[in-house]
Structure 1
Amino acid sequence: FNGYLVGRGNSKDVDLNRNFPDLNALMYYYEKHNGQNHHLPLPDNWELQVSNNQCHIHCYRRGDTVYSE
């Protein structure tokens, strides 16, 4: 067999395409019990960071700023 039926294994014979944990069950559990739905903590100044990004986006759309690569 080749392709889909064989899968895509690594050096330890773990199928990389099908050997995933059931994250949906965890997500629904945390949603039901008012748990955290992400693993990254927000920094204390996240509101300032968002407003700063929004300002850059607004200026970019207006054409006030020149960006270079």
Structure 2
Amino acid sequence: MDAAVTPPLRIQTTKSTPISSQVARAHVQNFLSDFEQRASATSGGDSTVIAQLRKVADALREERDAVKKTAESS
């Protein structure tokens, strides 16, 4: 008999504060750095999470660059 599957935890926000993509990227970079250190200390960690966080940080940088380019051309 298969084990019962537990659904993932659902997180719901109660409030939000808008921040710039630059600040968001800095937070992601800080978290990623800390996460990589903790993950490497414990059996290599999960490279999938690290890769996805890098993609988020890169997307935030691209968004900031696009906004800067648009502002400069206006």
TM-score, normalization by structure 2: 0.27
* Greater RCO (Cα-Cα under 8 Å, separation 6 or more): 2
- In our comparison, the structure showing a higher alpha carbon Rg is 1
TM-score (norm: length of structure 1): 0.29
Structure richer in helix, relative to its length: 2
